[in-house]
């Protein structure tokens, strides 16, 4: 039996036009975007339209 893999997906995100979105730690995400680990928090922000996923950086 194999152990579950512990892959982490990263994505570059930026705020939607006219939005100001905070990172999980409370800092504001810059308009040119940042690389983040795709957690439930960031999935919700993307789903809500507050953040835009620029590209997928892949798994680590």
Is 8 contained in some domain? no
Exposure b/e, 31-55, CB count within 10 A at least 16 = b: eebeebebeeebeebbeeebbbbee
Let me know: does 37 contact 10? Beta carbons within 8 Å: yes
User: Where in the sequence is the domain holding 40, given as residue range(s)?
Assistant: 18-59
Is 43 contained in some domain? yes
**Domain count of the chain?**
1
Is 48 contained in some domain? yes
Is 7 contained in some domain? no
Residue 57 burial class via C-beta count within 10 angstroms: exposed 0-12, middle 13-18, buried 19 and up = middle
Is 23 contained in some domain? yes
Tens of pLDDT, residue by residue, the chain (60 residues):
555 656 788 999 999 999 999 999 999 999 999 999 999 999 999 999 999 999 755 555
Is 28 contained in some domain? yes
Is 11 contained in some domain? no
Is 41 contained in some domain? yes
């Amino acid at each position: 039996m194999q152990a579950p893999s512990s892959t982490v997906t990263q994505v570059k995100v930026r705020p939607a036009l006219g939005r100001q979105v905070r990172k999980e730690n409370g800092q504001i995400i810059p308009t040119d975007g940042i690389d983040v680990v795709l957690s439930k928090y960031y999935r919700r922000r993307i789903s809500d339209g507050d953040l835009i996923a620029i590209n997928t950086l892949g798994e680590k």
